[in-house]
């Protein structure tokens, strides 16, 4: 059967054992709808990074990994993502919408100021024109996962020219600029793994709390309170 979807892991490997086990939730569900491939294009360290700032390097890692992905649809992953059970149907729908031609570019992740208590929200990315002032990113987006039809991506040489003069270290600003046209971004209950936790802690409620705790506690005190209240007493 022809495969049109390729997942690719990029960046450094962080908490890979926990992340990969959790990602089986996504892969097992998606396999009921369509076949796909999984590629490992992670790097051992940062010593060969092309740029000084983290966000340009994240994007360049992705572009360097693209030739390995033979499929039309690419899904950029990182090893330290934790998918809550509630997020799986939404992420699957985003992938299938791209496969069906209803989407060409989507960014997915979390946001802790106003979306911490929402299951899933999707927005349109702002329009832009290359070389125009509108080419600068106007909104902060999610940046954990990128789903794209490869035809919707800007050429590698063009991206390199953008990145080599880029002064922003925020992937929330930069990832949206790699697309040619329209796109979406979504916030859901998807977290980053912060440490090699004990098996008893590997559940959605604890992972949500530790994710929020890893950010500025003053700025995200409402999110931290929300996730803390959801923790069971034995956790």
Domain ranges of the chain: 5-199
Residue 4, token pair as written in the block: 């049109």
Give the model's pLDDT for residue 169. 81
Which helix (H) or strand (E) covers residue 90, if one does? helix 88-99
pLDDT-derived band at 139, boundaries 50, 70, 90: confident
Give the model's pLDDT for residue 198. 95
CATH of domain 5-199: 3.90.550
pLDDT of residue 234 exceeding 60: no
pLDDT of residue 133 exceeding 80: no
Mean pLDDT (whole number) for 96-124: 96
pTM of structure: 0.94
pLDDT of residue 27 exceeding 60: yes
> What is d(CA 55, CA 176) in angstroms, rounded to the nearest whole number?
12
User: Which residue carries 């859901």 as its tokens?
Assistant: 188
**Which candidate, 134, 136, 135, 106, places its Cα nearest to that of 121?**
106
Strand-pair category, 73-77 with 5-9: parallel
pLDDT of residue 6 exceeding 90: yes
Residue with more model confidence, 135 or 58: 58
Residue with more model confidence, 130 or 134: 130
Strands across the sheet containing 37-40: 37-40, 5-9, 73-77, 145-149, 105-109, 184-188, 120-124
Which segment of 72-81, 125-134, 144-153, 175-184 scores lowest on mean pLDDT?
Answer: 125-134
Mean pLDDT of the chain: 92
pLDDT-derived band at 132, boundaries 50, 70, 90: low
Give the model's pLDDT for residue 131. 61
> What is d(CA 33, CA 16) in angstroms, rounded to the nearest whole number?
26
By percentage, how much of the chain surpasses pLDDT 70?
93
pLDDT of residue 34 exceeding 60: yes
């Amino acid at each position: 059967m022809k495969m049109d979807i390729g997942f690719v892991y990029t960046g450094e490997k962080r908490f890979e054992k926990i992340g990969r086990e959790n990602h089986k939730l996504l892969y097992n569900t998606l396999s009921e709808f369509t076949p796909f491939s999984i590629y490992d294009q992670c790097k051992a360290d940062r010593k060969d990074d092309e740029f000084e700032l983290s966000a340009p390097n994240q994007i360049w890692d992705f572009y360097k990994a693209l030739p390995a992905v033979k499929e039309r649809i690419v899904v950029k992953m990182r090893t330290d993502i934790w998918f809550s059970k509630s997020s799986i149907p939404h992420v699957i729908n985003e992938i299938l919408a791209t496969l069906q031609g209803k989407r060409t570019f989507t960014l997915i992740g979390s946001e802790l100021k106003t979306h911490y208590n929402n299951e899933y929200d999707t927005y349109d990315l702002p329009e832009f024109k290359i070389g125009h002032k509108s080419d600068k990113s106007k909104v902060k987006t999610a940046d954990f996962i990128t789903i794209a039809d490869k035809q919707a991506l800007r050429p590698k040489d063009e991206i390199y020219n953008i990145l080599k003069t880029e002064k922003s270290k925020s992937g929330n600003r930069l990832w949206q600029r790699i697309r040619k046209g329209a796109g979406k971004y979504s916030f859901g209950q998807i977290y980053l793994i912060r440490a090699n936790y004990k098996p008893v802690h590997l559940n959605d409620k604890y992972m949500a709390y530790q994710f929020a705790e890893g950010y500025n506690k003053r700025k995200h005190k409402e999110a931290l309170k929300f996730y803390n209240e959801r923790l069971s007493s034995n956790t």
